[in-house]
Each structure stands twice: as C-alpha cells, then as structure tokens.
Amino acid sequence: MTASQHLHAKQRHALHIVHGYNEPFLSLSNQYSRALQAGGWQVTTVYLTGAASNSIRQQTVADQVIFFDTPDSAMKGLKPGLLLRVRRLLTADTGLIIAQRYKPLYLALLGSIGKNIPVLGVAHAFGVLKSGGRRRLLRCFAARLTLAGVSEAVAADLRARDNTLHIVPLHNGIDTAQREPRLLSRSAARQQLGLAENEFVFGNVGRLHDDKDQPTIIRAFASIAARHPQAKLLLVGKGKREADYRALIDQLQLQGRAVLTGALPDAPTLFPAFDVYVSASDREPFGIVLTEAMLARLPVISTDCGGAPEVLGEHARYFSRGDHTALAQQMEAMLALAADERRQQGEQLYFRLQQQFAFPPFCERLLALVRSMTGAA
C-alpha cells in the first residue's frame, strides 16, 4: 500500500491554522473548512490569537475548534511554545495543514518538521515574501509547501520575489447562499442609514486607512457635487485617518454631502442602500468588499490595479489609482445612466459572482488543489 492509499484508508484529518477570528478571516476560514469537509476531510481549526469564545466556536465550521489565546507579544520571535503546541496537534491521521497568513505558515512548517505533511500557505496580502529571511525559510520546505495567493496579482507578487517555490492563485470565495438572505431591502437599509429615497448614493466600506485611499473618492465627489445636488457620498468604516478625512470634507465644504458613518455592525447587509459602489484601494489583494457589492447587485467603479479587475471582470468601470479626475468622470457617467442600465451592470456583476466566487466554485478550486498536493481522490 502506498502512502497515499494508506492515507485514504483512514479518516483524513486537516489542521487549519488561522491567525485570529476577526473578520473577514472567520468567514474566509469557514469557506476552507466547509470545502474540506465536503471533500471528506475532518477539520481542526486553531485560532492563534483571540480569547476563547463560545460564540466564535459556534460560528466556526470545524469538527474541532481550539483557541491558543496568544497575546501579541508572544507572536514575535521564534515562538517555541507555539511550535510545541502545534506539533502536539499532529497525529498519524493528519494529512494536510492549511495556514492562513505568514505566522500560521511559519508555525505549520516548523511545527511539522519530520512529519512530511503537505502544507498550504495562503497569502492574503502583497509583500509576503519581501523578507529574505522568509524566502530562505520557505525554501527549506519547498518539497511539501504550496503557496496560494488570493488572486493572480498576489500570486504574481510572490513569484516576483521567488520563482523556486510552488506558487498558485486561489481566489477567495464567499457564501452567497448564506449572505444574500441577510441583505436588507433598499428602503430598510436607507432608513437605517438616515438616507432619503431620492438621494443618489455613492458608497464605500472599509478601514479609513491610506491603502484604501478614501481621499481620492472625496476629491472626486467634490468636483461633481455642485452639479448633482441629489448625490451623496457615504464612507462606512473607522481608522486612524478619520480625523484627516473629516478635515478634508470640511475643507472641500462637503458637510452633509460626504458622510463618515464610523464602523457599523453588519455593514454588508446595508449595501442595498447604495446606488453605486466605489473603491479607490491602491493595491487590493482580492477585495472581499467588492464581492459584497456584487452580491447586492450594485454597479461598481474601482481602481484598475491589484486583484480588483480579476474579481470584477469586464462589467465594472475602472480608473487609475489616485486619479480623482478620472474617478469623477466615472461617477458622473454613472449619474447619467438610466436606472435600468445601472441595474443591468449590477446584475452582470452578480452573475459573475455566482459563477466565479460563490462557495461551489471555490470548493471545486480548493479541493482540486488539495488533491494535487496530497494525492487524495
């Protein structure tokens, strides 16, 4: 009996190591676990950070959930205690380890030395292999390591740093069947946000941070606001640049027209309140928020960089990052469209989401990759 056949004869067990359960990683890791279970794997999910929580345990898709409850200070350096804890979780039935982000990958590889267990490391950001030390470490495990970028753009960034490792794209997925029923109606979402029915709303949801580049959206809106008094800009989220963005809104005299809402619970359920979704992210690795806009059947204007074009395809409108003049032109073009034309663009994006990024196609992609790594049928 070969090693692969021996693995088949037993219950296959996958260890899934996740940095923490903050969103979007709770939802993303659940997609991986659901897919693995659909492929016949038993899954243990380990959260490295975050206190043990019965609520999170219940929300987690896994056969077993373990909380390491590691303080941030213990996540630095060699982490021998964490390595030992990971190693103790490995059994004779462990046939796969999946690690979300670099620190879980570090622990997965070093914790499984001598076990010859295939490891899938998922890169959710650009620059993961920027460090020479990281590249040297990962090369030591190249024979049993697969690195997956959450978009072809992220995978290309990984390959540009190291062309010796096995690197593949593995696009994220979202559970459309679970999420879509939670969407509020347009009127209910607008009522919750304090928006009038006759306002034309450009929406953006995300951290108020440099890499999301909300100032470009604010400046673009400022150049069209006077010509379109019914238009409004809603920026949902919080972050370290909030005070700066409020000052910019005041400087451009957009008080009451461009609104910072702060963080909102269940923000994805409120997307139907928007008429158009706008993203100005300078390097979006994938863009879960873009799939949330697609689920709400919204037309989308986005930067033409990072993973965004892979997610949105040909039915979105694009502009170059930081170019607020070009963005203003796209916003004005959206305002000029008939409601049916905007609705058609939203429906096309919704169809693309179901075909490419809903759970069934994601499950197929992941299980095909796992089969290639493990030899499992």
Element (H, E) at 234: strand 231-236
pLDDT of 76 reads 78
DSSP-based helix, strand, coil % in the chain, nearest 5: 50, 20, 35
Strand order in the sheet with 145-149: 64-67, 42-47, 13-18, 94-100, 119-123, 145-149, 166-169
Give phi and psi for 308, each to the nearest 5: -55, -50
Dihedral sign computed on CA atoms, order 143, 129, 105, 364: negative
Structural domains of the chain ordered from first start: 3-173+358-374 (3.40.50.2000), 177-356 (3.40.50.2000)
Q: What is the pLDDT of residue 73?
A: 77
Q: What is the pLDDT of residue 377?
A: 56
Maximum distance among all alpha carbons in the chain?
75
* CA distances from residue 137 to 106, 121, 123, 194 in whole angstroms, order as listed: 8, 13, 16, 52
Per-residue pLDDT at 48: 96
Asked whether the beta carbons of 174 and 291 are under 8 A apart, the reply is yes
Q: In this predicted structure, what is the pLDDT of residue 338?
A: 97
C-alpha span between 357 and 123 (Å, rounded): 17
Residue 198 · residue 230 · CB < 8 Å: yes
pLDDT at position 8 is: 46
Q: Over the range 240-250, which residues count as b (16 or more CB within 10 Å of their CB) and which as e?
A: ebbeebeebbe
pLDDT per position as a tens digit, 297-329 = 999 999 999 999 999 999 999 999 999 999 999
Which of 199, 36, 34, 42 is CA-nearest to residue 120? 36
Helix (H) or strand (E) holding 202: strand 200-205
Per the CB < 8 A criterion, the answer to whether 144 and 131 are in contact is: no
Q: Is the dihedral of CA 71, 74, 76, 79 positive or negative?
A: negative
Low-confidence ranges of the chain (pLDDT < 50): 1-9
Is residue 31 classed as helix, strand or coil in its secondary structure?
helix
